[in-house]
């Protein structure tokens, strides 16, 4: 009912899980406790419904975030003079690593014991390194005349292009909108037709960026956490 989340376990330094079968919430308390016992924390995703919320709370979970999924038609994007001076280079063309990104402030894992800004930065650096190594053709560094302004890391799968992770550099001189727009145009030019991802409902800046670029927003989804001893 719960499977190990390998990445989160590697990052957190303790066992992390994710609910893989919703039947977990229908199980009796003893079975749920046995399934949860190996883990320091467990994440579950589900609809924002009263029925799911009651079941999740009964199992000891709390609502940590709401994610808004979306799809965006990359083939319909047009360029703008405001990003004419920006260049996108993939890790397949010119190897790079993410260094000193701007802090992430909309992050549910900040609710975990022992996790502060430094630990969150470490999570994103680890995640970035894996995405760059595994998907170099869609891992982009966005540069201006002054140097690297940020990064946009994506991956292809059966559903198209997952727009996985975008970050401004801590000393960036461009806006997030310009970073996203330039990266998405690069994906368009690679032949990608549709991109998809999700973001925290608290992240109004990203919401506004994708809205301005023509994204279509889908049904929100709750992210629930169980924390050992919580």
In order along the chain (230 residues), what is the average pLDDT of each group of 10 residues? 97 97 93 97 95 95 97 95 96 95 91 94 96 98 97 90 97 97 97 95 96 97 94
- Structure-block tokens of residue 87: 């260049």
What pLDDT does residue 157 have?
84
What pLDDT does residue 104 have?
86
From residue 57, how far is each of 43, 64, 213, 219 by CA, in Å? 13, 12, 37, 21
Please tell me the distance from the alpha carbon of residue 205 to that of residue 212, in angstroms, as a whole number.
11
Work out whether the CA dihedral 173, 179, 181, 182 comes out positive or negative.
positive
What pLDDT does residue 126 have?
96
What pLDDT does residue 100 have?
93
Number of residues assigned to the chain? 230
> How deeply is 127 buried, as exposed, middle or buried, from its count of CB atoms within 10 A (0-12, 13-18, 19+)?
middle
Beta-carbon contacts of residue 199 (< 8 Å; ≥ 6 apart): 67, 68, 70, 106, 206, 207, 210
Backbone angles phi, psi at 52, to 5 degrees: -70, -40
Helix residue ranges, H only, the chain: 6-12, 29-36, 50-58, 117-134, 176-189, 204-212
Please tell me the distance from the alpha carbon of residue 111 to that of residue 62, in angstroms, as a whole number.
11
What pLDDT does residue 81 have?
95
Please tell me the distance from the alpha carbon of residue 158 to that of residue 161, in angstroms, as a whole number.
8
What pLDDT does residue 109 have?
96
Report CA Rg, the chain: 19
Is pTM beyond 0.85? Reply is yes
């Amino acid at each position: 009912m719960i499977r190990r989340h390998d990445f989160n376990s590697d990052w957190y330094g303790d066992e992390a899980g994710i609910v893989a079968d919703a039947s977990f919430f229908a199980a009796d308390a003893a079975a749920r406790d046995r399934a949860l016992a190996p883990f320091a924390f467990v994440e579950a995703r589900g609809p924002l419904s009263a029925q799911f919320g009651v079941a999740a709370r009964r199992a000891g979970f709390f609502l940590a975030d709401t994610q808004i999924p979306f799809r965006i038609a990359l083939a319909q994007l047009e360029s703008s003079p405001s990003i004419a001076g920006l260049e996108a280079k993939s890790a397949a063309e010119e190897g790079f690593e993410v260094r000193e990104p701007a802090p992430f402030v909309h992050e549910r894992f900040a609710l975990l014991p022992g996790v502060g800004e430094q630990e969150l930065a470490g999570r994103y650096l680890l995640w970035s390194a894996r995405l760059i190594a595994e998907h170099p053709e869609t891992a982009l560094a966005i540069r201006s005349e002054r140097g690297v302004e940020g990064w946009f890391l994506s991956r292809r799968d059966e559903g198209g292009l997952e727009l996985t992770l975008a970050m401004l550099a801590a000393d960036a001189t461009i806006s997030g909108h310009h970073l996203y727009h330039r990266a998405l145009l690069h994906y368009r030019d690679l032949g990608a037709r549709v991109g998809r991802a999700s973001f925290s409902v608290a992240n109004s800046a990203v919401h506004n960026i994708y809205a301005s670029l023509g994204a279509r927003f889908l049904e929100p989804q709750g992210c629930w956490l169980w924390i050992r001893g919580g």
